[in-house]
Chain A
């Protein structure tokens, strides 16, 4: 399929157009390779089955305690796998530097990588959440409050990718440092995921402050996105600006 002649973005400004083109580009590569989706979906199903076998027989009263941990643990690992692979693709052929030399907004690269990671996470959550509801009846509030569940999952994943994309990009620009991603990513994304964990438990326990938690998560997401967007360029191209000895 040719990109030329399918430009539906000409009414947008340069930043959203470039971000959109890069999202399509990453999705096209993924469609040909199916590496990220197959790995992460398979991982999600394995986690679901293993946790189901281990904990489903526990009383339904315990399910609201188990399900949130399972949900956000899965987000953490799937997110890490996706971010590693997305930036490894650019590293392997050194194409990230080609993008940096081209007249491409750095922010467009950030938005595109974050969007693709978010899409992969949401695809996995589309399997995981119904699976949780089936295996853990005590977590049925996820099904009975679909709009709240969707908002919760989207906000939690968004916060994760806002921070994760920044660090994955920083490590992708150095050579041989991508193995550090998981080491760095888990601690820095933990606060966001803990926030999401508390909100999920509140949803499952029908806590009246669920909507307040969601509002707070949205505020944290905005903050993290602004921070990620602001720091992305220095992280990506600021390597050479080391201190003069």
Chain B
């Protein structure tokens, strides 16, 4: 039984002071789909992600997880979510393994199971660096380790904020493969990006956020029978208009 999927936000509105950062946003993420959230800086992507993660409770609208309204995210909800933030959020004085172990043990204390750390390190290509202090890692390695931490939780919902930033070509291909694998496993993925190429390549649905509102969206399933190139063109159109 799912803990958080389907994720649904209904008419979510939020202010910071007198500035409205989200306006009547509807969002829906199902198992086994990748939803890309595109928007320029300041469009409200990170705030929307914070609402999804429970770091912000929307001032208007509703957040529903697994079909039930969720005012606050419980420990069970949070155990089912993997998150990769724009900053890697890792402890620089610990090594890669220690960073993962901390969260795996905190999860275990909460009764949540995690993937074996060694497996995840292999999957992320970090086996040789597992005992290196994180402070010595490059930006790309930090990003991979942050993703490794998210994957340790075998997430039902994977939320990623600009995960392709700082990754080289090989790293981008590896991340794309992993996201596709996670989708195949049945995870729902919410991906915030301002890279239209990434969105068109990976996503099942692409939403464009502008000024705190979803102003347009395109779904791969709407274009059944058309070539991938058709979807890519629609995403590019969505981004440039």
- A residues bordering B, Cβ < 8 Å? 2-4, 7, 9, 14, 17-18, 21-22, 25, 28-29, 32-33, 92-95, 97-105, 237, 239-245
Residue B60 at the A interface, CB < 8 A? yes
- The 8 Å CB contact of B91, one of A93, A105, A245, is A93
Q: How far is the CA of A237 from the CA of B53 in the complex (A)?
A: 11
- The 8 Å CB contact of A103, one of B14, B87, B93, B110, is B110
Q: Does A98 lie within 8 Å of B89, measured CB to CB?
A: yes
Find chain B residues with CB under 8 A from A17 CB: 109
Q: Does B105 lie within 8 Å of A103, measured CB to CB?
A: no
Among A7, A99, A240, the one with the most B-chain Cβ atoms within 10 Å of its Cβ is A240
Q: Does B85 lie within 8 Å of A93, measured CB to CB?
A: no
Q: How far is the CA of A227 from the CA of B116 in the complex (A)?
A: 39
Q: Does B101 lie within 8 Å of A103, measured CB to CB?
A: no
Q: Does B15 lie within 8 Å of A244, measured CB to CB?
A: yes
- The 8 Å CB contact of B94, one of A4, A29, A98, A244, is A29
Q: Does A98 lie within 8 Å of B17, measured CB to CB?
A: no
Find chain B residues with CB under 8 A from A93 CB: 87-92
Q: Does B117 lie within 8 Å of A98, measured CB to CB?
A: no
Shortest distance between the CB of B48 and any CB in chain A (Å): 12
- The 8 Å CB contact of A101, one of B55, B109, B112, B117, is B55
Some 17 contacts from A to B, beta carbons below 8 A apart, are: A18-B106, A21-B105, A28-B98, A29-B91, A92-B92, A93-B90, A95-B89, A98-B85, A101-B53, A101-B54, A101-B55, A101-B78, A101-B81, A103-B76, A237-B55, A240-B51, A245-B18
Residue B2 at the A interface, CB < 8 A? no
Find chain A residues with CB under 8 A from B78 CB: 101-104
Which A residue's beta carbon lies closest to that of B76?
A103
Known: A240-B14, A242-B16. A18 touches B109 (CB 8 A): yes
Q: How far is the CA of A68 from the CA of B50 in the complex (A)?
A: 47
Known: A4-B117, A33-B93, A100-B55. A240 touches B50 (CB 8 A): yes
Residue B75 at the A interface, CB < 8 A? yes
Find chain B residues with CB under 8 A from A101 CB: 53-55, 78, 81, 83
Find chain A residues with CB under 8 A from B54 CB: 101, 237
Shortest distance between the CB of A113 and any CB in chain B (Å): 15
Known: A3-B101, A18-B110, A101-B83. A95 touches B90 (CB 8 A): yes
Find chain A residues with CB under 8 A from B224 CB: none
What is the size category of the interface that chain B forms with chain A? Answer: 35 or more
- The 8 Å CB contact of B59, one of A2, A4, A98, A244, is A244
Query: Interface SS of chain A: helix, strand, loop or mixed?
Result: helix
Find chain A residues with CB under 8 A from B96 CB: none
Q: How far is the CA of A241 from the CA of B102 in the complex (A)?
A: 29
- The 8 Å CB contact of A94, one of B76, B85, B101, B109, is B85
Q: How far is the CA of A52 from the CA of B17 in the complex (A)?
A: 51
Q: How far is the CA of A18 from the CA of B76 in the complex (A)?
A: 15
Q: How far is the CA of A103 from the CA of B77 in the complex (A)?
A: 8
Which B residue's beta carbon lies closest to that of A22?
B106
Residue B166 at the A interface, CB < 8 A? no
Which A residue's beta carbon lies closest to that of B60?
A244
Find chain A residues with CB under 8 A from B103 CB: 98, 102
Q: Does B97 lie within 8 Å of A94, measured CB to CB?
A: no
Q: Does A240 lie within 8 Å of B91, measured CB to CB?
A: no
Residue B200 at the A interface, CB < 8 A? no
Find chain A residues with CB under 8 A from B87 CB: 93-94
Q: How far is the CA of A102 from the CA of B55 in the complex (A)?
A: 11
Residue B79 at the A interface, CB < 8 A? yes
Q: How far is the CA of A94 from the CA of B107 in the complex (A)?
A: 19
Q: How far is the CA of A50 from the CA of B60 in the complex (A)?
A: 57
**6 tightest A-B contacts by CB?**
A240-B56, A17-B109, A103-B79, A98-B89, A103-B110, A3-B101
Find chain A residues with CB under 8 A from B57 CB: 240-241
Shortest distance between the CB of A49 and any CB in chain B (Å): 31
Find chain A residues with CB under 8 A from B50 CB: 240
Q: How far is the CA of A162 from the CA of B5 in the complex (A)?
A: 38
Residue B38 at the A interface, CB < 8 A? no
Q: Does B107 lie within 8 Å of A102, measured CB to CB?
A: yes
Q: How far is the CA of A242 from the CA of B22 in the complex (A)?
A: 14
